[in-house]
A and B are shown apart, each in its own frame.
Chain A
Amino acid sequence: MSEPESDLLQKEYWDLKYITGPLVFLSNGGRFPTGAILDLTLENGQVRQGQVLEATTTHAVVQILQGTQGIDIKGTAVSLRDEAAKMACSVDVIGRRFNGTGIPIDGLAPIVADEEREIGGSAINPVSRDKPNDFIETGVSAIDGFNTLVRGQKLPVFSGSGLPANELANMIVQQSRVRGDDEEFVVIFASMGLTAREADYFLRSFEEGGQGSRVVAFMNKADDPAIERLFAPRCALTVAEYLAFEKGYQVLVVLTDMTSYCETLRQISSAREEIPGRRGYPGYMYTDLSTIYERAGRIVGKKGSITQIPILTMPDDDITHPIPDLTGYITEGQIVLGRGLHRQGVFPPVDILPCLSRLMNNGIGKGRTQPWHREWANQLYASYARGRDVRKLMAIVGEDALTEIDKNYLRFAINFEKFMVGQGERRRDIDGTFELGWKLMGLLPRQELTRIKRETVEQFYKETTNADFH
């Protein structure tokens, strides 16, 4: 949102009639358009902002950004601030820090807008979309090898409380590169309801990693007004669209934590007495989330791109919870963290089985990574899945009841988790990932590798034993 224009004389109304939770109802719905931003001037002179959600002839529903505490019906004046929520866009935003509604909080001068854009955005015309196909090497084997990220993709991290999602996201931000390309890139970071400690971790890491000057941060912390959380990702993406599609930057947007965002959405919905959907979340949450996630992509004829990494916390590690569920239906895959791996000390604890990158095929293969990348990944995936099944079986029937081949798979799975996934914080390039993959496949008999073309197997297969990994 833009800076308040000083003392612009606006017509004021005193028609508040009802206040509940974060909402204020006005007794006349016809004065302001829906989506408009209003100024509410309290008796003590304090000014708060509200957005019109719904209008009827008898009333208008307004959500108050900074909360309704202290607002009274009699003494509060309402005036129009802007017909829609807007964000000041300019390349000068790079390196700056804003609150959730786009007002600078770093103590520096206000942004001189090159362009004011409505933060709601509009849908990219599907025929204007360019196919995302630039492989981003994140340096994380579980992503590069198995769930490849490409420019213009939206790939969320599904985490659980206490799992190191922030560390993984940070690793991606620090280490990602596109091969043979040093184009200008910008990281846009939107924090929604992060604790001061988490927010500090990110900002400090960006500083230490030398990204500080390339980061635009929108900070809404846990103790900041909840309603501003609904604005933070939209402000971030509005700036992202401006930088990517007007100025040609490669933009990486990190949105965290989407769970807090959805909680706020639910809070507004219940205050509006809407019929709740699953677990009390509103029925339109899918649509609402899509207006955030779908703002990733590339456009034909434009140099820049928007890649999104939203992070969310699965309540009780439940992937079927509405937040991860609806997210997964919109995003192009997901990176899922596993508690079991984390307990074993594997970092990053990526549970690759439920992970997916829908755009992987666009970014890999001949001329990009390796012509056999897809088969290689499928084989390792299938073998690891079987190894995990064997491990489960072993827990019931004991190791002695396993067949010889099952034992091979078990060894494979253990080493896969320990070495392929558990790479630690060190960056591993894609060639290193491939090499390790072949070494792991060496633990299995050659004829088991039916997912890979015979010629490829013959070229790369070399039998290995457990000892080769120690």
Chain B
Amino acid sequence: MQGPIIGKLSRISGPMIAADGMLGVGMGEIVRVGKMGLMGEVIRIDGETVYAQVYEDTSGMYLGEPVESLGTPLSVELGPGLLGMTYDGIQRPLITLQKSSGDFIARGLTAEPLDYVRKWAWTPTVKVGDSVTTGDFLGNVPETEFLKHYVMVPPNISGKIASIAGTGEYNIHETIATLDNGTQLTMTHKWPVKRPRPFRRKLPAVTPFITGQRVLDMLFPVVLGGSAIVPGGFGAGKTVVEQQISKFCNADIIVYVGCGERGNEMADVLDEFPHLTDPKTGGPLMNRTILVVNTSNMPVAAREASVYTGITLAEYYRDQGYDVAMMADSTSRWAEALREISSRLEEMPGEEGYPTYLSARLADFYERTGRIECLSTVNDTQAMRHGSLTLVGAVSPAGGDFSEPVTQNSMRVSGGFWALDAKLAYSRHYPSVNWNQSYSLYFKELQPWFRENAPKGWPERRQQAVDLLQKDTELQEIVQLVGPDALQDQERLILEISRMIKEVFLQQNAYSDDDAYSSLEKTGGLLEALMIFYEESQQAVQKGVHLTTILRHPSREEVARLREINSNGFMTKQKVVVDQVKAAMQGLIAAAV
């Protein structure tokens, strides 16, 4: 490669610039723009003029200022020390930026993504003479108290180990292995964010991504390695859903991308996560989390970078054999950034002004999820390694209207659709997942798992609840015409039970210590209790007990209050209540006959 190509700024239009004299620069390469050295990415080439989107505010620059190509695409640095970090969209640690420019982010700053001073306790797992190839573990370091960070041979590299560092303390830039072809390896390597990291093959998914949210785990479960979108108008509770999932889900590692959203929300996460415990390990939740933050008032072009940065970090841990979940809040802001840049490039717009390649970009992005066989040598001593990447993408449709392009295009490529409903949110029904509109394509694949691992009768109880809710929707239509008094007691019972399902089971209080997380046991047990209450009262009604008597009976409140019982010890209380219900109904029947 020849020296850097330096051209001249010839156009400035918001986040987009053009530079002349840039022949030889490739698409997607990073350029340094102007005297301030703002970072940008080449998105169009016209002869010797290149157009670039700039990741920082461009105001104050003069035409003619230098634009320099760095010859590399936007990349992230991968290695130990990522966990617990808070980055901006282009992997600059926000804490470093704070040190160099104070409470407000200045322009043109650079910062090392990883702490290169810190020493890691290295344990090698290969020896001199071993043949290694992409993905093979060279050794590991304890990245956190609970998580081993496996140092892998980077993609597209293989050879025989010529030397390997012994057990000891090393920083990320020290050579820890040398191959026979002279390649020196450290604990880190770089990877371009827009290129999916390689793997051997995708596998069918078989285990659920458990979120601890009843409505999702029971009605619309997603698989580890699957994807779901959470569309909802403002105030429907997208962010709370994303945050709850990242707190309680069964992934090993969470990458949380705040893309074009509120600063105070990120302050909330930063304040809260270090004090919460990881349900899997008991360590601080922050230790399994990487935050990528590009708030709405930070430069628009960096929004796109932030989601790609996030997913590349996620893939890196997936390649080590972990289950990784990525939250993207919100993908619509990224799409809007695409729209803005596209409009500055004067491209012919597609639907609602979005570029015509929106659907292709979204599809490429969602397809980076999956459960995979990792690349590595497989032989007698080394087994196949599996990893997974699950994606939950929030979508912010304009006016709350799901027919808009971002929602529609994301729906096509994601397996779970958790539609949030403003009307439910208005009556403080949270999570406001609409049970009629939402769906999951994974339920069939997961049936065997639930049958084997979830509380007994899970699929049947689920079906029973779904049928009741369906019946409820139909009955509500009649009620709207003739009023509830015109219904039979059996039908009114269905309305009342459905109301209980909604209030007790589908709603979940994110701010209650006992209800924010619902284990599979509690989820199954709570629904079971509700269904037993239904079956018993159905019988009672048949035997002539008045519906009002049943509804006024204190055992109904007991069932409703089960929700407040913590997942720990839930089943003990549940059994007591179920027995109470059975006895109560028998009593009512006896009195009526």
Contact = CB atoms under 8 A, between A and B. Distances in A.
Interface of A: 29-30, 32-36, 54-57, 83-84, 120-132, 152-153, 245, 274-278, 283-284, 286-287, 290-291, 294-297, 299-300, 302, 320-322, 325-326, 328-330, 332-334, 353-354, 356, 358-359, 361-362, 374, 377-378, 381-382, 385-386, 393, 396-398, 400-404, 406, 447, 450, 453-454
Contacts of A453: 564
B234 A33 contact: no
A35 B233 CA distance: 34
B326 to A, nearest CB: 18
Interface string B298-310: 1010000000000
Contacts of B564: 453
24 contacts: A33-B60, A34-B61, A56-B12, A126-B258, A126-B263, A128-B102, A128-B104, A129-B270, A130-B267, A153-B264, A278-B398, A283-B336, A283-B343, A284-B340, A286-B296, A287-B340, A296-B264, A334-B235, A377-B428, A378-B428, A398-B483, A401-B484, A403-B484, A403-B485
A148 to B, nearest CB: 13
Interface in B173-225: none
B97 interface: yes
A294 B298 CA distance: 10
A385 B428 contact: yes
A404 B484 CA distance: 11
Given A84-B59, A402-B484, A447-B556, A374 B398 contact: no
B267 A126 contact: yes
A446 to B, nearest CB: 9
A454 B427 CA distance: 21
Nearest to A385: B427
Contact of B264 (A33, A291, A332, A356): A332
Given A131-B268, A274-B343, A124 B400 contact: no
B59 A34 contact: yes
A352 B279 CA distance: 36
Contacts of B117: none
Contacts of A122: 57, 104-107
A283 B339 contact: yes
Contacts of A386: 427
A277 B352 contact: yes
A36 B59 CA distance: 8
Given A294-B263, A358-B265, A382-B429, 19 more contacts: A33-B61, A34-B61, A54-B12, A56-B10, A56-B63, A57-B10, A57-B63, A123-B297, A126-B266, A126-B295, A129-B270, A283-B340, A294-B262, A297-B263, A328-B235, A382-B503, A385-B427, A396-B481, A450-B504
A300 B95 CA distance: 13
Nearest to A290: B296
A128 B504 CA distance: 39
Interface residues of B, number: 85
A32 B422 CA distance: 48
Contacts of A322: 398-399
Contacts, number: 230
A455 to B, nearest CB: 11
B426 A385 contact: yes
B557 interface: yes
A124 B104 contact: yes
A385 B426 CA distance: 8
B353 A275 contact: yes
A125 B483 contact: no
By CB atoms of chain B within 10 A, which of A132, A284, A354 has the most?
A284
Contact of A34 (B60, B102, B484, B560): B60
B86 interface: yes
Contacts of B94: 125-127
Contacts of A36: 60
B11 interface: yes
A83 B564 CA distance: 60
Contact of B103 (A128, A353, A374): A128
Contact of A393 (B262, B429, B480, B554): B480
A223 B479 CA distance: 54
A381 B557 contact: no
B518 interface: no
A278 B336 CA distance: 12
A124 B263 contact: yes
Nearest to A453: B564
B497 to A, nearest CB: 14
Contact of A325 (B11, B12, B271, B398): B398
A233 to B, nearest CB: 13
- Nearest 4 pairs of A and B residues by beta carbon: A401-B483, A35-B59, A385-B427, A320-B399
Nearest to A296: B264
B485 A30 contact: no
Given A33-B59, A385-B427, A397 B336 contact: no
B353 A277 contact: yes
A393 B426 contact: no
Nearest to B270: A127
Contacts of A353: 426-427
Contacts of A401: 482-486
Contacts of B339: 277, 283
Interface-centre pick from B267, B333, B401, B554 (highest chain A CB count, 10 A): B267
A333 to B, nearest CB: 7
A291 B15 CA distance: 14
A325 B233 CA distance: 8
B293 interface: yes
A359 B272 CA distance: 14
Given A397-B481, A402-B483, A127 B98 contact: yes
B92 to A, nearest CB: 11
A309 B493 CA distance: 46
B14 interface: yes
Contacts of B557: 447, 450
Contacts of B484: 401-403, 406
Contact of B511 (A54, A321, A374): A374
